[in-house]
Amino acid sequence: MLLRNSFCRTLAAVMTMAGTSLLSSGQDQHTCVSDLPAIHINTLDGNAITSKDTYVPTTLRYVEPSGIVTVYDSVRVRGRGSATWTLEKKPYKLKFRNKVRMLGSTGANGKKWNLMANHTDKTLIRNAVASFIGSLTGQKFTPGYRFVDLSVNGAYVGTYQLTDQIDIRKKRVDITEQPEILTSLSNITGGYLLEIDGGADPDEGTVFTTAKGVKIAVKSPDEDVIAQSQTDYIAAHIQKFENALFADNWLNPVSGYRRYCDMPSLISWYIASELTGNPSAFSSTYFYKEKDDDKLYWGPMWDYEMAFNNDDRHGDLTESLIISRNYNAAKSFPWFERVNQDPAFFAEVSEAYQTLLGKGLKSHVLQFIDDTSAAIEQSRMLNFGIYPIDAKVHRELVLFSSYAEGIRYLKDFIDRRIDFLSQRFADRAVGKDPETSLPEFPALQNSTDDYYLVFSESDNTLRFIPADATAQQPAGTFAIASVAGTTVISGQISERIHLDTLGHGVHIISWTDMSGRTRAAKFTIK
C-alpha cells in the first residue's frame, strides 16, 4: 500500500514519460485535495463516461502529494463492473497507450488498470483487507493498489482504489503468456488465466461449460487472439480435472483429483475465502494453469466489497462456513461441493490455519484495518460528504451513522470469525460436520465389504486383512491425514502400514481398492 501523510502542495513539477506530454509548472492547476495522490481524468470532448463497453479517449493527470504531476495524453477509459456500474459512484477501467508503473517501481508494468469505487463498502477498505489476508495465507499474487482521490472532468467523485488488472504479467499473475500468433512450435499447454463465472456471457469472450455445468471464461489468451486449438486444449484439460474429481477413486492421492490440483494454492485460497466471508467465493473465482504443468492453481483474489458480512442476501455469516451457505454454489461451482467431502483436505486446511494463528493472524489483520482506515481519513471525509454513509446503495447488510461504527463492525467480524474458523476447520477435519461425517474404526477391527481394517496399538500399525482367509492381500492406495500433527502418509496398501510418524489423536484414512472403490474413516491413536 502506497500512501502519503502530508497535504499536497501546488504544482511543483511535471514528469515526462512515454506517452505523456510535458507541461511547465504553473500551466496545470490540477492538485491534490487530501493527503492521498490525486487522479484527474478529462475526456477529450468534455462529455461524461457513460459506457462500460466502449472506451473514451481522455487525458489523465496523476498528482503526487509532493506536487509532482505526470500527464498521460492518451488514456482510454470505460466503466467496469456489473451491478456496481449502475450505482451513483462509478468504477472505471483504464487502458494506457504504453505500459506504465502506476504503483511505482516495485509494481507491475502494464497498460490496463482499474479504479475501484468501493461504493457498496462503507469502510472503503474491504478489498484492501482481502488482499492483505490473501498475502498472509500464501497467495502467490494479490492485486497491488493505492488509494487516490479521483476527479472526472473537473468534478471530484470520491475516494478510489487504483489497482492492478488481473492479467498475465510479472507482479500480477506471473506465468507464461502464450504468443498471439501460434506456430507449429508453440506450446499451448499454458499459460491460461481462467475464471469460474456462473454469469459469463459467451458473446463477451471465450466461454465453455464442463460436463457438471461449471462455466469457465478464458481471460488469457485474449478472445481476439485465442486459437480454437487452445480453447479445445484447455477445455479438455479442465474436463480431465473434473472427471478425476468425480471419479470413484477421487480421493486417491496419486490418481485422484489432486493429480490436477495444486493443493497449497487451493488451501491458501480457501482459507482466505472463508476468513473474508466472501459470498461469491465458490461461484466466481480466478484460477490458472502454467505450461507443461497439469495442475490448476487457485487465485488471485478479486472483488470483496460484499464480503466481511456485507451482503443482505445471506444475513449474518459470522459463524457459518461460506462453502455451506453460498447462494448459488450448486448452480455454478459443484467442484467445491465435492472437495467439501474430502476429510484430508480439511485436515490440511486446519493445520495450515493453526500455523497462521500461531504467527499472529488476528493481530496482524486488525492492525492493518486500523492503519489503512487512518491513512485514508482525510479522503474518506470528502468522499462521504458526497455519498451519505448511512444510505443503502446496493445490498449492504448493516448501515452506520459514522465511519468509526463501520470500522468497528468490520473488526468485530474479523475477531469473531477467526475464532469460529479455528474450531470449525478442526471439526470438519475429524468429520463432526454432517456433510463430512465418517465412521469411527474401533481400536481392534472394523469390517469393510471384503476385508478388515485392523489397527494395532502395540506396534502402532494398520493392516488390511481379507475377510475371506483364502483371498489375496488387498491391493490399492491409501492416504492418512493427521489432524494433530503435520504428517500425511500415503502410498500403496501393504501388509502392514507403520504409523510411527503420526502423533496421538484423531486421524483420517482414505483408501482405494483395485476395483476403484474409495472409502474413508477415522481412527484414534490414544
Report d(CA 293, CA 477) in Å as an integer.
24
Amino acid at 80: R
**pLDDT score for 485:** 35
**The Cα angle at residue 250 between residues 245 and 253, in degrees rounded to 5:** 115
> For residue 361, is pLDDT > 60?
yes
| Section 78-96 average pLDDT | 95
**Band (22; pLDDT cuts 50, 70, 90):** very low
**Pairing assessment for the beta strands 110-116 and 145-152 based on DSSP bridges:** unpaired
Amino acid at 91: P
Count of Cβ atoms closer than 10 Å to residue 138 Cβ: 17
Q: In this structure, what C-alpha cell is assigned to residue 154?
A: 473537473
pLDDT digits (tens, 9 = 90+) for 404-436: 999 999 999 999 999 999 988 888 777 665 334
Contacts 24+ apart (CB under 8 A), 167-171: 167/110, 167/112, 167/193, 167/219, 167/220, 168/193, 168/220, 168/288, 169/108, 169/109, 169/110, 170/108, 170/109, 171/106, 171/107, 171/108, 171/109, 171/144
Report d(CA 475, CA 393) in Å as an integer.
60
Q: Is 420 helix (H, G, I), strand (E, B) or coil?
A: helix
- Please give the residue that has the higher pLDDT: either 183 or 480: 183
Task: Give all domains of the chain, ordered by start, each with its CATH number.
Answer: 13-164 (no CATH), 192-357 (no CATH), 445-525 (2.60.40)
> For residue 208, is pLDDT > 60?
yes
Q: Is 328 helix (H, G, I), strand (E, B) or coil?
A: coil
Q: Please, what is the average pLDDT of the chain?
A: 85
Report d(CA 336, CA 341) in Å as an integer.
9
Q: What is the CA radius of gyration of the chain?
A: 26
Report d(CA 242, CA 235) in Å as an integer.
11
Count of Cβ atoms closer than 10 Å to residue 338 Cβ: 15
**Pairing assessment for the beta strands 13-15 and 68-79 based on DSSP bridges:** parallel
| Section 84-88 average pLDDT | 94
What CA–CA distances, in Å, run from 377 to 3, 117, 133, 259? 11, 16, 22, 48
pLDDT digits (tens, 9 = 90+) for 90-140: 999 999 999 999 999 999 999 999 999 999 999 999 999 999 999 999 999
Q: Which of 3-7, 102-106, 159-163, 367-371 has the least mean pLDDT?
A: 3-7
Q: Which of 126-140, 438-452, 511-525 has the least mean pLDDT?
A: 438-452
Report d(CA 502, CA 510) in Å as an integer.
15
pLDDT digits (tens, 9 = 90+) for 365-377: 999 999 999 999 9
Secondary structure, 3-state, 215-259: EEEEEECCCCCCCHHHHHHHHHHHHHHHHHHCCCCCCCCCCCHHH
